[in-house]
Structure 1
Amino acid sequence: MVKKRDEISDAYKWDLTTIFETDSLFEAELTRVLSEIDDVPKLSGTLIDSAETLLTITELELALMQRVEKLYVYASMKNDQDTTVSLYQEYQAKVTGLYAKFSEAFAFYEPEFMSLSQEQFAQFNIDKPKLQAYGHFFAQLFEKKQHVLSSAEEVILAGISEVFGAGAETFEVLDNTDIVFPMVQDDTGQEIQLSHGNYISLMESPKREVRQAAYEALYSVYAQYQHTYAKTLQTNVKAQNFTAKTRHYASARQAAMSSHHIPEAVYDTLVDTVNAHLPLLHRYIKLRQDVLGIDDLKMYDVYAPLSKTDYKFTYEAAVIKTQDTLAILGQDYLDKVKRSFKENWIDVQENKGKRSGAYSGGSYDTNAFMLLNWQDTLDNLFTLVHEMGHSMHSSFTRESQPYVYGDYSIFLAEIASTTNENILTETLLNEVTDVQTRFAILNHFLDGFRGTVFRQTQFAEFEHAIHEADAAGTVLTSAYLNTLYAELNEKYYGLSAQENPEIQYEWARIPHFYYNYYVFQYATGFAAASALADKIITGSEQDRADYLDYLRAGASDYPLAVMAKAGVDMTSSDYLTDAFKVFEKRLIELETIVKKGEQI
């Protein structure tokens, strides 16, 4: 059975007292911030009275936002560590409301700023040179000019933002707290509680009957609640489409991507390039079938390890391997990695009620915390290295940039994490001499590529399709979503939708469909990371210095410009094509080992 939170050693828990030492201190700060936000509306109408008022109100907004984020991080992470605790459910609701209140209070800011002419703004910079520190911040605002509404309309949108988030919030509560999965048998025949945390481990079982039972048990629950999940997803899509239309964007995708200055062509190039390389995925699936010796390969066989080598890592061994692997990035980087372990930035083990999956979080004023649900697998080592990449990106950015640029766009977010994964793959392959272990690492890489580039692009196609369907008036019923997803899955994997009926419900369990065009960036990020990892491993000291500069850049420039300085042009398909060359090279090596019969 999954342990309760209080049954886990503090050594494996993150230390959130570094944010607020006690809940009462959190509550006191929440009260203060709410009170200060109450005073903001009186500033409405004065933003561009002078250079002085523009600077003062801008700095006030940023300072309050900095404090709001710190409150949000504490409440959300307290809730994530055990979603059954009602107090932290309440905290989560309060900080969500706080965000809405903050947005509503400052709803006047953008409309008033947009009435400022470029000539006036230039004069303001002369009158108040301190404004120049916010040059890129203001440039981004000017670019949004045609999408900013009147003050009254902005107040309405800000006020209903909490309502628009109801679909995603309902999904989280349903999926992490209310849903109870059946008991299933593990590899030893022991009855265990199926959970988000152990599902993938069960799907990686060498016993087909274990995989099938876990797979069918999981999707029986999603089939049971498919109509509810369809309603939460439809609500989310409608909110995104409505907001985009209201702000005069052509689509929700354009709205999401333009906020980070990313051309929609980047998205389309990804989908087109991946579709052109689907034969490589089909080839890998065929190799899986041959190695497993299964005539009727099913979707529950897709995660089964091809290798029989027991290449596992305890958490303690993974800590050492992570430090050794990432030392190539220099002493400063390594020191930060060691701090994360020493200072308990990481919540390691699964517990009852804990949010599933893994992430890196935190705010400008906190440590870059990480949430894991640790299992002793090679995949979990890669997860640790992945989340460490996020946390180091955050740490370098926050130490190098002022708050206004102290974050980075989601387009850049997945690059640092998957660069670490690519470095780990190269490190392990360079260390390994025996064919069997090498086979296991190659298997892991190809599965990771499949799961990140192919799978996330499949998700991206699905996400864009449902937004377009809703915009065209199609009702996103569970029947519609099931059919669409099943067809896409068949195209990607080449496995019959009719013979894999459970997979049609997979869309219901994917939280990233609520993240507003986030998933495509996993795929673009992995491909870009392949290029960066190669520069770090085989390139010069300047290449490694350029990479660290990318980590430090934060939001001080547009994402594509940041990547160009790091040496990767993401407006071209070349970085994607190069990534597929690496995939094919390693696939050929795996095929060669199989042909020789050396993988056993």
Structure 2
Amino acid sequence: MSAADVPEREEVDEQYKWDLDSLFASDGEWEEAFEAVNERLDDLEAYEGRVTADADALEAVLETREEIMREVADVSAYARMRSDEDTADQHYQALSARAQSLSADASSAASFIEPELQQCTREELQAFVEENPALEQYEHYFDDVLRMKPHTRSSEVEELLADLSEVTGAGGEVYNMLTNADMEFPPVEKPDGSEVRPTLSNFTTLLKNRDRDFRQRVSETFYDEWAGLRNAVGTAYKNSVKADIKLARARNYDTARAASLDDANIPVGVYDNLVDTVEANLDTLHRHAELKRDVLGVDELRSWDLYTPLAEGEVEVPYEEARDHVVEAVAPLGEDYQSRVAEGLDSRWVDVYETANKRSGAYSGGTYDSQPYILMNYQDDITSMYTLAHELGHSLHSELTSETQPHVYSGYEIFVAEVASTVNEALLTEHLLETVEDEEFRRHVLDEYLERFRSTLFRQTMFADFEHRTHELAEDGEAITPDVCDEIYGDLKAEYYEPMALDDGIRREWMRIPHFYYGFYVYQYATGISAANALVDRIMEEGEPAAADYREFLSKGSREYPLELLRGAGVDMASPDPVEHAIDAYGDLVAEFESLT
């Protein structure tokens, strides 16, 4: 798609745009809601010092916080999504900035609640529950609050940390604006003589082109442009790492990694187990890379070859076709789940196509009180179809949780969220390989899922190791410079992709990974695909009983800790078994494709 081919937003039919009117019908209505909830913050602060005065006061403050936070979430979601529609629109940038400030102010206004709760013993809180049954719904929340007591500061410090949230997140915000609004790549000549301009959304799609010289031009043009932003991106990342470390130390953690994982009650051993298990089995990844080298017929595999499909030819998957495949694929999860997916796709949950200045990538959003929303940059290919299935997994997770759980448990940790999304990917693969008769399409499906395994299980684990190493260096007082990041990333790339020759561009790949600005986030993609693979195997073998356990898992939100939730669904992520099982499944897929060639 050339720069001219990327349409303006108003050129896209309404049916392919998400319906934000269900949140606020106009900016004026948003302004009214913003002012109303802003004025309510004083209602919350009025409870300071009285949180545990008695059971009724405790119920009142928790209900008031819930009402306010629900309103803040709606205001924030609308502003953020309007800004994502056109990241160069300064009006919505301003609304989004105001919403971020409001969210920080709301967190600050509520910051006294948990320190006051932590002055109680478990026995005292249990007595409040017995006195007022309305507090029963908060029992797991109380347990979590008391668990975090060693890492919660005084109400004054908590208020300060909440106020600083905008500042501590500045590195990621600068990076986002730099890459989505300001950055533009030079056009590249296509094999037919026309030109195409790489974007953050179409970069990997362009690297699937069969013309190797074109792939090289795209890769070099893309990474040369990043080289020109080397100091700006390096500074943004350095300060993001520093913010992670400062916040961790402010909360009495030894490391930023421990702080990040403890928020969801995930032992650091789970992280180490993932990295150790994957890095002990890199021979399977090397087999995939060698297979790609042989199928492409090249003497030396290069970074611009990695995304090139093993299957020859191109398979177009229009959005409507992808929609039908995804709806059919989720049938093993039950009729209700399937009908919800179909209805959501018909109710403008999805903002489908890439448009000028639209935020790159994809995500599932929305709030407790709204319908789910999905941002896509659909490219009419198999990868985009899988992305749609992935984001719908998140959306159904949110919808089932919101319908079943009180607001206090309506969120869920990324650790389990990435299970919900990759279960849908695995089911889509099962469905396509079972029902599609076109051999070329089937080969593309097999290749796509191999790439999903490679990029999710291995690549994200490599990212996790990179994050760990950069944070460790910074915690030891070492400088985090672009050269240091290049060296760490290049060494990891060489280890993971041993059959590939490295170039300077791929050593800079760390610069284009936005998830590095959400500290210690990416490892959960790898644990997610490992758990999802085990769950889908169980669902396909046992049928409805396993599907029912899985739906129950989705409906619990955060009422239990992540490892407990997954054990209830039938998988133990404290064990290396799910990761090893996923690597074995990946190896079987590699072997299957080897047999085809």
TM-score range (shorter-chain normalised) is over 0.9
Pairing partner for 2:369 from 365, 368, 374: 365
Q: Which residue is equivalent to 2:264? A: 260
State the SS of the aligned residue for 1:372: strand
SS at structure 2 position matched to 1:196: coil
Letter aligned with residue 318 of structure 1? A
Contact persistence 2:303–2:500 (CA under 8 A): no
CA distance in 1, matches of 2:91, 2:400: 33
Deviation at 1:148, TM superposition (A): 0.7
Counterpart residue number, 2:202: 198
Q: Which amino acid aligns with 1:563?
A: L
Match status 1:36 vs 2:34: no
Match for 1:516 among 511, 514, 519?
A: 519
**What is the distance in 2 between the residues matched to 1:549 and 1:337?**
17
Deviation at 1:165, TM superposition (A): 0.9
Q: Letter of the aligned partner of 1:212 in structure 2?
A: Q
Q: Which structure 2 residues correspond to residues 155-554 of structure 1 after superposition, within 5 A?
A: 155-433=159-437, 435-495=439-499, 499-554=502-557
Instruction: Please show how residues 68-87 of structure 1 align to structure 2 within 5 Å.
Output: 68-87=72-91
Which residue is 1:5 aligned to? 9
Q: What's the offset of the Cα at 1:123?
A: 2.1
Gaps of 5+ in 2: none
Aligned to 1:562: 565
Shift of 1:33: 0.7
Name the aligned partner's letter for residue 325 of structure 2.
Answer: K
Contact persistence 1:393–1:416 (CA under 8 A): yes
* Structure 1 position 109, deviation (Å): 1.2
Counterpart of 1:363, as a letter, is: T
Match of 1:582 among 576, 581, 585: 585
Deviation of 1:365 (Å): 0.8
1:50 aligns with 2:50: no
SS in 2 for 1:371: strand
The alignment's TM-score, normalised by the length of structure 1, stands at: 0.97
How much does 1:495 deviate?
A: 4.7
Distance in 2, matches of 1:540 and 1:12, equals 34
Alpha-carbon deviation of 1:294? 0.5
Residues 376-408 of structure 1, C-alpha deviation per residue, up to 9 Å, x if partnerless? Answer: 111111111111111111111111111111121
Displacement of 1:432 in angstroms is 4.3
CA contact (8 A) 1:176 1:355 kept: yes
Taking structure 2 as the reference length, the TM-score comes to: 0.97
1:444 alignment partner AA: E
Q: Is the 8 A contact 1:186 1:202 kept in 2?
A: no
The one-letter code sitting in structure 2 at the alignment partner of 1:297 is L
Distance 2:554 2:191 in 1: 42
The 1-side partners of 2:102 and 2:81 are apart by 16
Larger deviation, residues 379-388 vs 121-130 = 121-130
Deviation of residue 435 (structure 1)? 5.0
* Alignment deviations for residues 513-556 of structure 1 (CA, whole Å, 9 cap, x no partner): 01121100000000111111112222231011111111111011
CA drift at 1:129:
1.9
User: CA 1:434 to 1:7, structure 2 compared with 1: closer, same or farther past 3 Å?
Assistant: closer
How far apart are the structure 1 equivalents of 2:381 and 2:193?
Answer: 19
Measure the CA separation in 1 of the matches of 2:262 and 2:200.
Answer: 34
CA distance in 1, matches of 2:434, 2:515: 34
Question: More displaced, 451-460 or 102-111?
Answer: 102-111
Structure 2: distance between partners of 1:120 and 1:439:
62
Aligned in 2, Cα 1:15/1:521: closer, same or farther, shift over 3 Å? same
Q: What SS does the corresponding residue of 1:205 show, helix, strand or coil?
A: coil
Return the letter of the residue paired with 1:455.
Answer: R
Contact 1:423 1:537 in 2 (8 A): no
Looking at structure 2, the residues matched to 186 and 3 of structure 1 have their Cα atoms a distance apart, in angstroms, of 20
Question: Hey, what's the Cα distance between the residues in 2 that align with 1:427 and 1:454?
Answer: 24
* Whole-angstrom distance in 2 between the partners of 1:189 and 1:59: 63
CA separation in 2, counterparts of 1:527 and 1:340? 27
Q: What is the letter of the counterpart of residue 197 of structure 2? A: Q
Unmatched segments (≥5 aa) in structure 1: 595-600
Q: Percent identity?
A: 40
2:124 — aligned with what? 120
SS in 1 for 2:457: helix
Are the counterparts in 2 of residues 460 and 517 from structure 1 also a CA contact under 8 Å? yes
Secondary structure of residue in 2 paired with 1:197: coil
Amino acid at match of 1:564: R
Query: Which sits farther off after the overlay, 439-448 or 154-163?
Result: 439-448
The amino acid across from 1:221 in the alignment is E
> Quick check: 1:309–1:437 contact (8 Å CA) kept in 2?
no
- The whole-number CA distance in structure 2 between the counterparts of 1:41 and 1:444 is 52
C-alpha distance in 1 between matches for 2:313 and 2:214? 19
Q: Which residue of 2 aligns with 1:598?
A: none
Q: Distance in 1 between matches of 2:350 and 2:468?
A: 34
Return the alpha-carbon distance in structure 1 between the equivalents of residues 378 and 319 of structure 2: 7
Deviation string 1:67-96 (CA, Å, 9 cap, x unpaired) is: 111111111111111111111100110011
Q: Is the 8 A contact 2:290 2:499 kept in 1?
A: no
Deviates further, 383-392 or 113-122: 113-122
Q: Which moved more, 1:445-454 or 1:532-541?
A: 532-541
SS in 2 for 1:348: strand
Q: Give the CA deviation at 1:434.
A: 5.9
1:597 equivalent in structure 2? none
Q: CA deviation at 1:433?
A: 4.9
- Displacement of 1:424 in angstroms is 1.0
Separation in structure 2 between the aligned mates of residue 470 and residue 567 of structure 1, nearest angstrom: 38
- Provide Cα deviations, 1:75-128, integer angstroms capped at 9, x if missing partner: 111111111111110011001101110111112112111111223222212222
Q: CA–CA distance in 2 between the matches of 1:101 and 1:120?
A: 30
Code of the residue aligned with 1:535 in structure 2: it is: R
Aligned residues: 593
Q: Single out whichever of 222-231 and 104-113 deviates more from structure 2.
A: 104-113
Whole-angstrom distance in 2 between the partners of 1:534 and 1:188: 45
Distance 2:235 2:102 in 1: 26
Q: 1:496 Cα shift?
A: 5.7
CA–CA distance in structure 1, aligned partners of residues 344 and 182 of structure 2: 32
Distance 2:546 2:424 in 1: 15
Q: Alignment partner of 1:503: what SS? A: helix
RMSD, aligned CA? 1.3
Aligned to 2:93: 89
Look up the SS of the partner of 1:43 in the other structure. Answer: coil
SS at match of 2:46: helix
Task: Indicate the residue corresponding to 1:110 in structure 2.
Answer: 114
